[in-house]
């Protein structure tokens, strides 16, 4: 094989990964799987796609080497093939935000008005060590099970309004969710503040903390 054909074959391997990333729904599936392993049924529901469509996207991601399945009884669960895949997704987002101006407009349209106070990771970890803040994970149950911050209380956003009595009224609550492009923590803080609780949101989330090795749980390693 000549030098040119060898080089083209090599770049074709790189292109195979890039090609599967060119679909918004497959990126959403990668985002969900960055939280931890999920069943096909759960992924389909979370991504608002049919089972057959979800399975087809997962098969494409699998062929590119980005996800892998495992069977438990009658269910098939998928996970990322490594934290480097989560890192690829995180880096893609940073590049898009840095070099595609419309990305920031789309982010603002999705997350809503900038009306919630934030806590950066350094401060959050310090407050966790000191025990002077309640840290609240507002993601769905499968995501919390896949990995979460040590000591975090788990109340899914959909249940939060009915479970406010479980949270302190005389201290600060820091809510977190999937990552910097997740709306759940924003909505949680808005709800908590509207009910008279003192709440802020974490600037980062599980994707960033997974890459930093800060999570605990069966899917966090």
The catalytic site residues sit at: 177
Handedness of CA 29, 32, 33, 37 (dihedral sign): negative
Rounded CA gap, 72 and 183, in Å? Answer: 31
Please work out, in degrees rounded to the nearest 5, the angle formed at the alpha carbon of residue 19 by the alpha carbons of 17 and 20.
75
Half-sphere exposure of 73 toward its Cβ, with a 13 Å CA cutoff? 2
Handedness of CA 37, 118, 158, 25 (dihedral sign): negative
User: Dihedral of the CA atoms 139, 24, 98, 125 (nearest 10)?
Assistant: 20
Q: Quote the DSSP letter at residue 164.
A: G
| Pick from 213, 198, 87, 88: nearest CA to 149 | 213
Contact indicator for 92, 21 with CB cutoff of 8 Å: yes
Helix (H, G, I), strand (E, B) or coil at 78: strand
Rounded CA gap, 198 and 55, in Å? Answer: 42
């Amino acid at each position: 094989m000549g030098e040119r054909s060898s080089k083209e074959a090599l770049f074709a391997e790189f292109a195979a990964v890039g090609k599967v990333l060119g679909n918004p729904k497959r990126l959403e599936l990668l985002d969900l799987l960055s939280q931890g392993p999920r069943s096909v049924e759960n992924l389909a529901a979370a991504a608002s796609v049919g089972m057959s469509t979800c399975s087809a996207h997962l098969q494409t991601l699998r062929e590119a080497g980005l996800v892998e399945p495992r069977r438990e009884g009658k269910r098939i669960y998928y996970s990322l093939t490594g934290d480097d895949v989560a890192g690829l997704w995180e880096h893609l987002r940073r590049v898009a935000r840095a070099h595609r101006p419309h990305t920031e407009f789309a982010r603002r349209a999705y997350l809503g008005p900038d009306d919630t106070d934030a806590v950066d990771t350094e401060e959050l970890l310090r407050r966790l060590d000191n025990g002077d803040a309640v840290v609240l994970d507002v993601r769905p149950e499968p995501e919390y099970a896949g990995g979460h911050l040590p000591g975090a209380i788990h109340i899914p956003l959909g249940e939060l309004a009915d479970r406010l009595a479980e949270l302190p009224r005389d201290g600060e609550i820091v809510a977190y969710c999937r990552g910097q492009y997740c709306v759940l923590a924003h909505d949680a803080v808005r709800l908590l503040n509207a009910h008279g609780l003192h709440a802020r949101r974490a600037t980062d989330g599980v994707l960033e903390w997974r890459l930093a090795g800060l999570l605990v749980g069966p899917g966090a390693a």
